[in-house]
Structure 1
Amino acid sequence: MQFKHFLPLATALLFASCSSNRPTQSSKATDTYRPAIQNISLSSAPFLKGTITRENAIRHALGYSPILQSQRAELRALQAETVQAGLPPNPELGIEIENFAGSGGSRGFDGAEITAALSQRLEVAGKRSKRTLVAALETEAAKAEIASSERDVTVATDRAFTTLLEAQAVTALSISNVSRAEENLATINALLEAGKSTSIDVGRAKLAVSEAKELLTEARLAESNAAVELSRNWGGGGTDFTPQGSLTSYEGAILPQVDEAISRHPLTRAASLRFALAEATYDLESAKRFSDIEIGGGIRQLRDADETAAVVGVSIPLPLFNRNQGNIKAAKERLDRSRAEARGKESELRSRFTMLTSDLRTAHTRVAQFNSQTVNVARQALADTNLAYSSGKASLLEVLDARKTLLQVERGQVRAQADLLRANNSLKTLSQPNK
């Protein structure tokens, strides 16, 4: 078969082979990755069990928070990229063979010219140092953002722990409320047998017991939900634990200086590093408009003359069309973006401190209102009303109203104590000095 007939036939066969094998290759690729996909397991964090303290919960959340674990993995990746950014370009070894397998004097390798050369690209305008600086600044910014996230996780876990303590206390109050309602029902039944009460009062007392049990059910559901919300901070769904702590552990807060607290918050440092990163990126992109130089050298063998000669080359791309102008413009715009984001972060922190300070003052006032004397007065009022009802000097509605008032006062006190503790601990965590 002549060569001019063989070439079109070989091309057609090659095209048909590629077309027929493409679905099979795709199917094989899917089959290859399917076991890996099936073996992926998304496991939760180790469960906390038994009695746990606030410190236990915070430590567990800082160790197993999915957000923090993700950020720490990215930080390790950035640290590896920083090492990569500081490496110079690899040299290139090239071998070139010319004037062989032809006709006449170029038949075979007798007239071949063989060139072996080593070339190296030289980066100009300090690209390597600028690239390393960009990678290092991104790594430092990630560290500061992790420190900020650690504070957020601490605040969220602390607040969730306090909420669980609050729900636990409300459940205990609801249990006491059910006991009071059942005692009241027993008293009314005894009075009915003695002819000192009516069946209407008995019906109202039974309804009051049902309402108290419904409140208890709601309180237990809220406590269960609070436990789930706490466990979410470390990525685990287990709630087989009991919080140990008190809502009255507040010892008085020293309100932070907002400007000072903002300046030392890691989020502020992260914003400053992000701006420095944008500046360094702009410098790097500006340096890329200068073409790198590639130099090389080697030897050339002329087989027909049995001679060797040195070869030296220099290559410089001409920046006629691509002067990296688009990336330089983009880097300049990102400078403005990072400046605006820094202002936004400062505004966000200022708002958080302002709101927490307001919450702290409001909760402190409410705690003072729901002091022990107020609760004792409500309890005494219920006891006096029960006694008056037994003597026929008060109605059942007054008894029910006194019991409802006591429950409201007790729950209000618990809620005020929890709000005070949440605001105080959040302010303390957000304003602490950097480690």
Structure 2
Amino acid sequence: MKTIAIAAALLIPPSLACAQQQPMPPTMQMPDMPMPSQQHENHAAATPGKLPETQLLGAVAKRAPMTLEDFESIAEKTNPTLAQSHTLVRRAEQQGRQSALYPNPVVAYDAEHIRGGSYGGGEQGAYLQQNIVLGGKLGLRRSIYQQQAQEYTIGVDEQTYRVRNSVQQAFYKALTAQAAVVVRQHLLMLSLDAVKTSHQLANVGQADQPDVLQAEVEAEQANIDFVRSQREYLEDFQKLASIAGSRQLSVCPLTGDLEHPPAIDPEQQVATIVSASPSVKRAQQEVSVAEARLKAAKREAVPDLQLRAGEWWSGEQTSSTSNAAGPMSFVSAGVALPLWNRNQGNVEAAKAELERAQEDVTRTELSLKNLSEPLAQQYLAAQFEADRYRTDLLPRAQRAYDLYLAKYKQMAAAYPQVLISQRTLFQLQLDYLHALSTVWTTASALENFTLDGALSSPSSEPLNSTINLPNGGSQ
């Protein structure tokens, strides 16, 4: 027979002890709720079977705690999507710079009839050619990318809200999981005490063997649930670290006020989301981009002026003298006549894109309303639920458990009644934590415009790195 004292020593390090005589450290505290007042003493009862598994968070509790602000600071510095969103702005700015560069001049050498034949030497010389862009097309092309850079600037704000929302939701989910570990630990300690009490009563002939076996089963189940809750906390912490952008952050305790979520006006928040969300602003900016594209497409039909000037030397002999004709100058100018290709297809395509962008503003607003309305109702429902647990259900369940436990020790109640009241109490405590978590996560979603996806790549148009090439071509 192994003693419960050994089991408790393996399972619960002093830094995480949940017994009434030693309060929980601030880093692992859970929201205030009625907790059983059972004293644990030294747990000197004996139980058959395997000992409870060793505490998984022993080393974790010794590390410095982290707050929500710590993770938000990490995310601001290391989350890759924020850096990506800034690179999109720089890309558009440099594309605008490239699109407005003037065409390079052409310097060339030309020669004809070099051998001359019966006329003597041929003709040869050099010329300079320059295309003059007319109609303000370069400025209009640059305007497209300037408007796009502004869209991506709004995208930086949009991605910031995405990261912030994801970090906040992951933090409070992990904080809830941490509080659940404490609840499960309380339940395990009480189950171990119940085993001790059952053995003591059985030794004096005041408890039946089924009561002892039932107490041992409950203790073993409580241990399984305790280990599972620790695994869930480890999982949630690692997810939180990944969302923040950290690859090597060690698991540590979290500290935060889980029981006092922000008080918001859901109806007003929904209206703010629909009218002021970065997603709506970005959709509106896409309309400006489409308008710039349409304006540029209409102006592309204006032809460029092609100028050429040069100096020749002719070795051809004149008819009146044997001397060569000598140096000659020339100049030429021309434009392409926009007869067949007036860029009409691109103009109509730009009009269609403008219509699509305008409709996308309405689509975005409706989509945000569709997402935010259920969140507002979930927030209100969870807020009401958490308040009822705190003020009504938990105090009554606590009182019922205390009464049944006292009666059982006085042989005035059967042990199954104690088990039922115990299960009810701890299930209500877990449900209370779940309600608080829902209040926090829905409030975070509403305050961050329902934007989520801290590790989703920021949306952008396909990269075009062949704009206004130096050789005169472009794609």
Report the TM-score, using the length of structure 2 for normalisation. 0.75
In the alignment, does 2:132 pair up with 1:122?
yes
> Corresponding residue for 2:437?
418
In the alignment, does 2:369 pair up with 1:350?
yes
CA distance in 2, matches of 1:406, 1:237: 39
- How far is the alpha carbon of 1:309 from its aligned partner? 2.1
Secondary structure of the corresponding residue to residue 299 of structure 1? strand
Aligned sequence identity (%) = 21
> Corresponding residue for 1:96?
110
CA distance in 1, matches of 2:199, 2:271: 65
CA distance in 1, matches of 2:262, 2:299: 57
- How far is the alpha carbon of 1:316 from its aligned partner? 2.2
Report the more deviating stretch, 203-212 or 309-318: 309-318
In the alignment, does 2:199 pair up with 1:195?
no
Cα deviations by residue, 1:263-292 (Å, 9 ceiling, x for unpaired):
222222211110111111112122223322
- How far is the alpha carbon of 1:238 from its aligned partner? 3.4
Q: Which amino acid aligns with 1:247?
A: L
Contact 1:385 1:399 in 2 (8 A): yes
CA distance in 1, matches of 2:409, 2:272: 63
Contact 1:155 1:426 in 2 (8 A): yes
CA distance in 2, matches of 1:194, 1:350: 67
In the alignment, does 2:289 pair up with 1:277?
yes
Cα deviations by residue, 1:199-232 (Å, 9 ceiling, x for unpaired):
1111111111111111112211211111122122
> Corresponding residue for 1:45?
none
Q: Name structure 2 gaps, 5 residues minimum.
A: 1-62, 317-323, 451-475
CA distance in 2, matches of 1:415, 1:370: 11
Contact 1:98 1:113 in 2 (8 A): yes
Q: Name structure 1 gaps, 5 residues minimum.
A: 1-48
- How far is the alpha carbon of 1:295 from its aligned partner? 1.2
Report the more deviating stretch, 318-327 or 211-220: 318-327
Secondary structure of the corresponding residue to residue 303 of structure 2? coil
CA distance in 2, matches of 1:238, 1:57: 13
> Corresponding residue for 1:249?
260
Cα deviations by residue, 1:363-388 (Å, 9 ceiling, x for unpaired):
11011111155323322221211121
CA distance in 1, matches of 2:369, 2:115: 78
- How far is the alpha carbon of 1:322 from its aligned partner? 3.4
Cα deviations by residue, 1:313-338 (Å, 9 ceiling, x for unpaired):
12323445433333223222212221
> Corresponding residue for 1:16?
none
> Corresponding residue for 1:18?
none
Q: Which amino acid aligns with 1:54?
A: L
Q: 1:421 to 1:142 in 2, by over 3 A?
A: same
Report the TM-score, using the length of structure 1 for normalisation. 0.82
Match among 76, 81, 86 for residue 72 of structure 1: 86
> Corresponding residue for 2:141?
131
> Corresponding residue for 1:390?
409
In the alignment, does 2:170 pair up with 1:160?
yes
In the alignment, does 2:238 pair up with 1:219?
no
CA distance in 1, matches of 2:362, 2:97: 32
> Corresponding residue for 1:40?
none
CA distance in 2, matches of 1:302, 1:79: 50
CA distance in 1, matches of 2:66, 2:343: 58
CA distance in 2, matches of 1:113, 1:420: 88
> Corresponding residue for 2:360?
341
- How far is the alpha carbon of 1:235 from its aligned partner? 3.0
Match among 324, 327, 330 for residue 343 of structure 2: 324
CA distance in 1, matches of 2:68, 2:432: 21
Match among 283, 286, 301 for residue 298 of structure 2: 286
Q: 1:102 to 1:221 in 2, by over 3 A?
A: farther
CA distance in 2, matches of 1:51, 1:104: 99
CA distance in 2, matches of 1:194, 1:207: 21
- How far is the alpha carbon of 1:233 from its aligned partner? 1.4
Contact 2:273 2:369 in 1 (8 A): no
Contact 1:85 1:128 in 2 (8 A): yes
- The count of residues paired between Structure 1 and Structure 2 equals 380
- How far is the alpha carbon of 1:139 from its aligned partner? 0.4
Contact 2:401 2:418 in 1 (8 A): yes
- How far is the alpha carbon of 1:157 from its aligned partner? 0.6
> Corresponding residue for 2:59?
none
Q: 1:288 to 1:378 in 2, by over 3 A?
A: same
Match among 47, 54, 64 for residue 68 of structure 2: 54
> Corresponding residue for 1:46?
none
> Corresponding residue for 1:298?
310
Contact 2:123 2:315 in 1 (8 A): yes
Secondary structure of the corresponding residue to residue 127 of structure 2? strand
Q: Which amino acid aligns with 2:443?
A: N
CA distance in 2, matches of 1:234, 1:104: 84
Secondary structure of the corresponding residue to residue 307 of structure 2? strand
Match among 227, 239, 243 for residue 233 of structure 1: 243
Report the more deviating stretch, 154-163 or 74-83: 74-83
CA distance in 2, matches of 1:430, 1:223: 27
Report the more deviating stretch, 342-351 or 171-180: 342-351
Contact 2:75 2:244 in 1 (8 A): yes
CA distance in 1, matches of 2:424, 2:201: 24
- How far is the alpha carbon of 1:86 from its aligned partner? 2.3
